[in-house]
Copies of this chain bind each other. A is one copy, B any other.
Amino acid sequence: MSPVKVFGHPMLTNVARVLLFLEEVGAEYELVPVDFVAGEHKRPQHVQLNPFAKMPGFQDGDLVLFESRAIAKYILHKYGGTAGLDLLGENSGIEELAMVDVWTEVEAQQYYPAISPVVFECIIIPFIIPGGGAAPNQTVVDESLERLRGVLGIYEARLEKSRYLAGDSISFADLNHIPFTFYFMTTPYAKVFDEYPKVKAWWEMLMARPAVQRVCKHMPTEFKLRAQY
């Protein structure tokens, strides 16, 4: 049987999210490149996979999925048991499952809106504007860092009580932080994390995972050579 296919480039955070969970469960997969600089994601072939013309697309036999978090959950439902992983907390009680859901939502609703503007201003906007683009909007960066410090303060208090966000086991909630935080750590503002020692230790624990290492090596930290993607 052919392995599952992921359509996109691993430098994109939503593609990286899907690859991360495939690597965590040890599933075989094929990465099908989509040249987004050339606009391939807007062509009919890709829109059949993802009607919003975004990446990744995902195919498992006749099943076509989009939205990286939904794809990630499907991967965990399909392969998590074989891999001995219960990252969604579904094999524990409904209270443990609820804690994974709570901190998964916290990443999406509180953490991502705080950290992503810094990554957009420092990395993504300069990358997508040919020639390097304008300097980061410092007001946006400063406001986002203030918001991020608020979130990290709450994480610090949480990680004083449990080893990971949803409890003492690693979960979907923790791993969802990786793609954007990985890029944030390449900006001049990475040292913000040093103010929160529990958070910093948690981040280093996540980065030390072999599956995380395998995915991150395909995520560039040097964006000047735009033509190569």
Residues of A at under 8 Å CB distance from B?
Answer: 51-52, 63, 65-71, 73-74, 77-78, 94-95, 97-98, 101-102, 104-106, 108-110, 154, 157-158
Complex copy number for this chain: 2
Closest Cβ–Cβ distance, residue A175 to chain B (whole Å): 16
Given contacts A77-B97, A108-B108, contact A102 B67 (CB under 8 A): yes
Closest Cβ–Cβ distance, residue A138 to chain B (whole Å): 23
27 of the cross-chain contacts (CB-CB < 8 Å) are A51-B154, A51-B158, A52-B106, A52-B154, A63-B95, A63-B98, A65-B98, A66-B102, A67-B101, A67-B102, A67-B109, A69-B101, A69-B105, A70-B98, A70-B104, A70-B105, A71-B98, A73-B97, A73-B98, A73-B101, A74-B97, A74-B98, A74-B101, A77-B94, A77-B97, A77-B98, A108-B108
Q: A65-B98, A67-B105 are in contact. List 13 more A-B contacts (CB 8 A).
A: A51-B154, A63-B95, A67-B101, A67-B102, A67-B106, A67-B109, A68-B105, A69-B101, A70-B104, A73-B101, A74-B94, A74-B97, A78-B94
